[in-house]
Amino acid sequence: MSAVKGTVLVTGANGGLGSAISDQLVSQPKFANYHGLYTVRDAKSAPSLMSILSKNPSHSHNVISLDLANLDSVRKAVDDINARVEAKAIPPIQTLILNAGFQDFGKPMWTDDGFDMTFSANYLGHWLLTLLLLKSMNKDTGRIVVVGSQSHDPYDKRNEGTQAFDGDYKTFVHDEASFEAIAKGTWSSAQEDPSWRSGYRRYGAAKLFSIMMIHELQRRMDRDPVLNKVSILGVDPGTMTTGLQRHANWIIRVLMFKIIYPIIAIFMPNGLVRSTAKSASQVLEAAFESNPTYGEFPKDSYYFDTKPFETSTESKDLRKRDLVWKESVKYAHLEPGETILADWQ
């Protein structure tokens, strides 16, 4: 094997899409020269990832425990990764794939830090992880890929028919108080709406914040003396049968996602429901290559089905983006010197 070109880090590497991404990284010759950093909630319990890694003993990798819903765990994992890069034990991060995700389907859970699990696991943990890992990114060609979702945009046609965003739910965040209500899970609570839709809206809010991070972090990196060549972009993976539905009722979990959707995916492989393998190739294409149809993958771009896709109007609102960024600094207790991003506050 020739010299290792860079490190690729995948969060949620034991999950449905994460396993498919890991499988392609481990088995496809074009990725043979990358070192894989696979983060899972508990490195001792990642059966799907372990079975994938066992297929190719020559694949250079580490498996790291990372609980995105625990800010101490994020800092601990980052210290470990940054130390390995600094000691040149592994090469700088070429690609950071923010893939882990969680949806409570209306059965909310809270983190030890007092946040709604949906907010913390999908957004705040990834935001902090990214800011702290910038130090270890390849400063010339490094790329960050956010796995997005249609749920971030109430006006996305794919949300029509769900009734999740009917009434007052067309926008997510207005001010500090509404950000706090999302972070603490008091907005769209199970008391307010006991159906799966309450969880879907909070998941949508967390995905909106992640997509705001694409726009806002790129803006801040573009002006940064060290990070101005690093890019961040997003991919909407579409609908897939994965562990994401594990907290749903049986109609959604079994009937829709295990029976109806897989049948639709077989007969309509290019339809809205797709295999994790297909979405994984699209994520990896955005992470490593230039787009075969549209040329380069520019900075601050977003894709669905390999085509450029508009993010929501709310995600582009400069005032709201600034508010969400500043609240994230506060909620993650980001301290001076923790990130190399010059404009971090």
Residues that bind ligand NAP (CB under 6 A): 12, 14-18, 41, 66-69, 99-102, 121, 147, 149, 237, 239-240, 242-244
Tokens 């980052």 belong to residue = 78
Please tell me the distance from the alpha carbon of residue 334 to that of residue 341, in angstroms, as a whole number. Answer: 12
**Which one, 91 or 238, has the nearer CB to ligand NAP?**
238
**Which one, 6 or 237, has the nearer CB to ligand NAP?**
237
> What dihedral angle (degrees, nearest 10) is formed by the CA atoms of 45, 246, 112, 75?
50
Annotated catalytic residue: which of 203, 261, 303, 331? 203
Edge-to-edge order in the sheet of strand 302-304: 61-65, 34-40, 6-11, 93-98, 143-147, 231-236, 302-304, 307-308
Please tell me the distance from the alpha carbon of residue 64 to that of residue 42, in angstroms, as a whole number. Answer: 8
In 3D space, the residue among 268, 269, 273 whose CA is nearest the CA of residue 256 turns out to be 273
Handedness of CA 207, 211, 298, 138 (dihedral sign): negative
**Which one, 199 or 237, has the nearer CB to ligand NAP?**
237
Q: Minimal distance in Å, beta carbon 67 to ligand NAP?
A: 5
Burial of 3 (0-12, 13-18, 19+ CB in 10 A): exposed
Q: Minimal distance in Å, beta carbon 262 to ligand NAP?
A: 12
Q: Minimal distance in Å, beta carbon 330 to ligand NAP?
A: 20
**Which one, 185 or 237, has the nearer CB to ligand NAP?**
237
Q: Minimal distance in Å, beta carbon 64 to ligand NAP?
A: 11
Name the residue with the smallest CB distance to ligand NAP: 15
Write the DSSP string, 11-33.
ETTTSHHHHHHHHHHHH-GGGTT
DSSP 170: S
Q: Minimal distance in Å, beta carbon 12 to ligand NAP?
A: 3
**Which one, 51 or 228, has the nearer CB to ligand NAP?**
51
Question: Is 203 one of the annotated active-site residues of the chain?
Answer: yes
How many angstroms separate the Cα of 219 from the Cα of each of 93, 158, 321? 20, 29, 11
Annotated catalytic residue: which of 207, 302, 320, 331? 207
Question: Is 207 one of the annotated active-site residues of the chain?
Answer: yes
- Annotated catalytic residues are 203, 207
